Structure 1
Amino acid sequence: MNTYQHFIKNEWVEPDSGQYFDALDPFSGETWAKLPQGNAIDVDRAATAAAVAMEGPWSKMSATDRGMLLYRLGALIESNAQKLAEVESRDNGKLLSEVLGQVRYAAKYFYYYGGLADKIQGAVIPNDKPKVFNYTRYEPVGVVATITPWNSSLLLTAWKVAPALCAGNTIVAKPSEHTSVSMFELAKLFVEAGFPPGVFNVITGFGKDVGEPLVAHPAVSVVAFTGGDEGGRRVAVQAAQHFKRCTLELGGKSPNIVFDDADLTNAANGVVTGIFSAGGQTCMAGSRLLLQESIHDEFVERLLTICKDAKIGNPAEPGVQVGPVATKPQFDKVVSYIDIAKSEGANCVLGGKTRSGNGYGAGQFVEPTIFTGVNNSMRIAQEEVFGPILSVLKFKDEDDAVRIGNDIRFGLAAGVWTKSLHRAMYMSEKLRAGTVWINNYRSTSFTTPFGGFKDSGLGREGGVEAVKEFLEVKSVWVSTDLQMPDPFIRKY
């Protein structure tokens, strides 16, 4: 069993408290690693190290050289993908096959932003002032605090860290206390890649002890957070008190909308991918299925055929399709929503049960569950469950689908299944969501911005837009006039 320490200035540092907490395997329920229990003193050490690094070799490095380090890190992630995936799968219970794909894809974020590092360009701005030259330049904001959840720790870290480093900032990373091991394994690769001390730091612990002091620390300029909307709201309030920027990628209750002219086979597969892949433990889950009335019964039958024999079990075993819920509190929450849905009058047509006993380890398994007869006022249709539960609602026409789809406080994503180009374009315009997928679901890329409307967050991750979240823009005015005008009169 490994015992990890904080990673600060490229060194392993004993926690100030001297205390450690358990990393639990969600499948077996066993402790498999020990993690440092951080506090405000540890936060100060890490944030100070990151601030000092902003003034050291990192700041003197050319953008091209910074990009080469990012590219080298991406190559190391790719070559160590199997080990990283095994660690993360054991940490959060996601299928090893899925996590391996995520880790390999995370490497591409570092490749992309490594190539972008020396292409951040200001502009010469034509202006109405004679004999004055005006241009803009972009500068790093400073220390960036990244706070990531337990469902996709390495991939979501790449979403934040790669563009922040591309822009020339330094990092203090705080992973979820439930899934911290993979972040320490990633930190080893930063050393191997040749990053200067203090550019990337990792501290672990609980929100009150580490997360809150990190957001409030005076050396931190930007907070990049992924998590639930309640946690995001606390981060936003705390950051605002210190006039700090924050990016918030928060919850979702995304509508996956199937029209009667869709390819129903593809749509059914897309709906399953949207909710039962990753066990529904993803912010972009298509947890509300909106079906046009004329195809409701037929489409539900298609889903039952696909899902009724889904293989549930050890996420490390080949062929397993549904793994355990990542944490015991989340397992209890998911189970409670099954009871809530039944009490509200929804009809459970698949699943609704837990699995335990031989082959199911600690028993944190929830069967893929489908509820029909759901109306949009029910809690099961309005609140993020973050588990393998699908709510099915009926709609009449395009406007009805838009009304139901938008009648939610979240706005992270939406899916539309149709063969009509006109309908696809109309729906993509009317749906209030940061991402709209047409005839596919859960596609993301390092080239493309991702983020939410409404309570689903602030800012964007991915693409060129992500780098802008970690840059200050400076306007520079250069006079070419050899004689100053009257100093008592402002020159407009």
Structure 2
Amino acid sequence: METLKEQKFAALDTKREFYQLIINGERKDSLNGGVYTVINPATGEKAAEVSKASIEDAEEAVRAARNAFDHGNWRHFPVNKRSRTLNKIAGIMRSRFNELVELEILNTGKSLAAAQGQVMQAIEDFEFYAGAIVGHRGAVNSMPGSFQNVTEKEPVGVCAQIIPWNYPLMMAAWKIAPAIAAGCSVIVKPASPTPLTALVLGEICMEAGVPAGVVNVVPGAGSDVGNFLVEHRDVDKVAFTGSTAIGKDIMAKASQTLKRVTLELGGKSPNIIFEDADIDAAVDGSLFGIFYNSGQSCEARSRLYVHEHVYDEFIAKFIEKTKRLKLGNPFSKDTHVGAIINRDQLNVIDGYVKSAVADGATVLTGGKEAKIDGYENGFWYEPTVIINVNHEMEAVKEEIFGPVAVVMEFKDEKEAIHLANDSQYGLGSALWTKDHARATRVSKQIEAGIVMINCPFSAFPGTPFGGYKQSGFGRELCIETLDLYTETKSMISYYGSRPLNPFAL
């Protein structure tokens, strides 16, 4: 079998009908011949066929990653050489930007603007860690007497990285970039519905000069391949983004071999609009906060709390603009809201809306599956706003993962903070106010890893991303992420002129 390098990447076209596994620097069919079909959510039609990894394939990927880490030279590359390789990965991605955007849209049904922003951030992730790793090193620490302490940062080892379906390429970059920057080897398991851009990213890593076995990509079922990787004794760390329920299961399984674990889990993020806010800015930011990526974001600001004095004004403007959001052709620059990932998720979203109505809530707009000319077989849901809700409703407590906002009034700052924190989750949060002191005071009391102040954006390379409570632990997208992929070794040496004799014998 030809390796990717032997093919000279002549065949590495981004969009194709069939995608293979990436193991040990090779494109490979599954050992049992397994293949599955990936669907374009916007149309309901086939996007491509993909080799389906089996447990035997996952074992081969683990062996390749283990061998690359234990006996290869990537971890021993000078930091500046690893840095140049990450920059080369970013450069190749930039040269193929439009191809990656097209493929991400075909695989997810997301809008053009969303895909462009996410592919660009994936590129910038590699550029960020190319720089960050250069300064991530040990230290020389002063000690009393004739002693010196030197610390070194060493890669943690083989890492299993389990990627969600809502941001397939961006989340793959969030995990691959810091891991290989630190010198680790990785086995990436993309979500079954959305493996295409992760597979292409694996190929790009090889093209850029990452040695065989350092980056392996094995799309397959989480129930077998995912669990196998989590439990494998030769896997040293697991990084997972996904639901809280699965995160708890991964943590329990990983505990049997004391793996390092990073979990970025669910969210039900609050969005607080105070009476002194710029209402127009709050409306526009709140629209983006919940309807961006079709609401399929872990930090989607889906719980809106609006001060009673501006509630009517806010709701009127928010509903008017929600109704103007455009659904349809994902490749059109005029489209705001893309498709839902599949029929099952569409039914989950609709189920939460129906349960809220049954509990007495009122749907002001949306609340049903969208029917779009030319996309009748796709999976679409109308942007939805629900009022007359309370914290006992499932639609308010649970992560819907769709374009659904629930809106409540509050009387004062104390009540707003209480409502915002009344959740098992603590990932994102947002607040809108012109009062700097209030913004600082409230931010310090919000139980969430991210607070967006007069801003709808939650993630930039270099800014920590992660949650409190049942939204997980560990921070991604920042310099501190490198600590999650390294061990700190402490070495104490004595440089005195007389031999030590602690027992005085």
Tell me which interval the TM-score lies in, with the shorter structure as reference length.
over 0.9
Contact 1:410 1:454 in 2 (8 A): yes
Shift of 1:426: 0.7
Cα deviation digits, residues 67-114 of structure 1 (max 9, x gap): 000000011111111111111111111112210221012111111111
**Which stretches in structure 2 are left out of the alignment for 5+ residues?**
1-15
Matched, 1:126 2:151: no
CA distance in 2, matches of 1:81, 1:363: 25
Residue of structure 2 in register with 1:56 after alignment: 72
Shift of 1:13: 1.5
**Which stretches in structure 1 are left out of the alignment for 5+ residues?**
none
The equivalent position to 1:322 in structure 2, one of 309, 317, 337, is 337
The equivalent position to 2:201 in structure 1, one of 183, 186, 192, is 186
Alignment size in residue pairs: 489
The equivalent position to 2:408 in structure 1, one of 374, 384, 393, is 393
CA distance in 2, matches of 1:309, 1:132: 69
Residue of structure 1 in register with 2:117 after alignment: 101
Contact 1:355 1:363 in 2 (8 A): no
What is the correspondence of 1:228-243 to structure 2 with a 5 Å cutoff? 228-243=243-258
CA distance in 1, matches of 2:440, 2:166: 32
Contact 2:428 2:458 in 1 (8 A): no
What is the correspondence of 1:171-210 to structure 2 with a 5 Å cutoff? 171-210=186-225
Residue of structure 1 in register with 2:482 after alignment: 467
CA distance in 1, matches of 2:76, 2:427: 38
Contact 2:428 2:450 in 1 (8 A): yes
Cα-Cα RMSD: 1.5
What is the correspondence of 1:61-100 to structure 2 with a 5 Å cutoff? 61-100=77-116
CA distance in 2, matches of 1:2, 1:67: 33
Residue of structure 1 in register with 2:418 after alignment: 403
The equivalent position to 2:360 in structure 1, one of 318, 323, 345, is 345
Matched, 1:116 2:132: yes
Residue of structure 2 in register with 1:24 after alignment: 39
Residue of structure 2 in register with 1:479 after alignment: 494
Letter in 1 for 2:260: R
Cα deviation digits, residues 413-465 of structure 1 (max 9, x gap): 11010000111011100000000011012231111111000000110002211
Shift of 1:122: 1.2
**TM-score in terms of structure 1 length:** 0.97
Comparing 422-431 with 24-33, greater Cα deviation is found at 24-33
Letter in 2 for 1:376: H
Cα deviation digits, residues 104-148 of structure 1 (max 9, x gap): 1211111111112222221222223x3222111110001111111
Contact 1:36 1:204 in 2 (8 A): yes
Contact 1:284 1:442 in 2 (8 A): no
What is the correspondence of 1:93-492 to structure 2 with a 5 Å cutoff? 93-128=109-144, 130-356=145-371, 358-481=373-496, 483-486=498-501
Shift of 1:334: 0.5
CA distance in 1, matches of 2:186, 2:178: 11
Letter in 2 for 1:259: F
**TM-score in terms of structure 2 length:** 0.94
CA distance in 2, matches of 1:77, 1:429: 38
Cα deviation digits, residues 230-257 of structure 1 (max 9, x gap): 1111111111111001111111100000
